[in-house]
Structure 1
């Protein structure tokens, strides 16, 4: 059966599956949905558009090029935090700061094992999102998570979706070898 011959029931089934993916991994990116569903670009785009217009899901563009999808009912604050937590380096930084409140920039760099410019970029995005704040005292800057309880709640609630992405990325890498 070709893509054009998909029945209304199957369309509903596709949309139901998309809602499941988005509910299980809020903040999922379009490309990841494309990979997980095996749908063509146009078919996926169509179904996501229908779900969005009917208020079943919502989407949010970040950085003018990344579109993330969320279940209906996700607050703006939750969407912002999830989007940041879906980035591995940002998630590592946040988790380190939560475990080591008032840590310094150099401690974060050492922990993450990334070059200072990368950490600086991520920290600026985290400060922009008002998730992390930079406290200055005695010419030393330290970092703390502003919304610690909310961030911890979201990490705990959605930790399986973060782990699943790492597993999927690893499987893709191994299969490409």
Structure 2
């Protein structure tokens, strides 16, 4: 079927809506949300990228999709918030403010080596800071940005963080 323009194609409109509502989705997640088969989705995303309707950021094993006007400097933050361990660490540090490695490891519910690697990656991205002392402590470098982007990709995540923050101070 011919459409007035590529933008009027219902599949293209649906894919644009999916990516705009939740930037940084992977191919697999877009496939799940759109209901399109692998080959069909690959065709549409490729054509949309050629037409600069979307852009992608490729990793070693995954590709994440964004709208062209989404700030490129926020890509790494959004991708980190989509990874389970990074998200757990960042949300924990948002509520705790300062935490030791042991506390972060318990909160992330991952092995110490996995947490150590993830903390290093988050530090390299400038998302967390380390205060050196007798015991190293970790904190979020820019909490406002993390909160804003958490809400952008998953509004329920923001509510959970806010609830934890309120619970923390209700005991004092």
Superposed pair shares fold, TM > 0.5: yes
Distance in 2, matches of 1:95 and 1:38, equals 30
Q: TM-score, normalised by structure 1?
A: 0.79
Is the CA contact 2:129–2:141 (under 8 Å) kept in the aligned structure 1? Answer: yes
Deviation at residue 38 of structure 1 after TM alignment: 2.6
Shift of 1:152: 1.2
Instruction: Give the distance between the partners of 1:158 and 1:33, measured in 2 at CA.
Output: 13
SS of residue matched to 1:79: helix
Q: Residue 150 of structure 1: which of 145, 151, 159 is its match?
A: 145
2 CA distance for matches of 1:81 and 1:29?
A: 15
Distance 1:96 1:162, change over 3 A: closer
Equivalent pairs, count: 155
Distance 1:59 1:113 in 2: 30
**Partner of 2:93 in structure 1?**
97
Aligned residues of 1:86 and 1:162 also touching (Cα < 8 A): no
Question: Structure 1 unaligned runs (5+)?
Answer: 1-6, 164-177
**1:160 pairs with 2:160:** no
Instruction: Choose between structure 1 and 2: higher strand proportion.
Output: 1
2:84 aligned partner? 88
Could you tell me how far apart the structure 2 residues matched to 1:21 and 1:115 are? 34
The answer to whether the 8 A contact 1:24-1:161 is kept is no
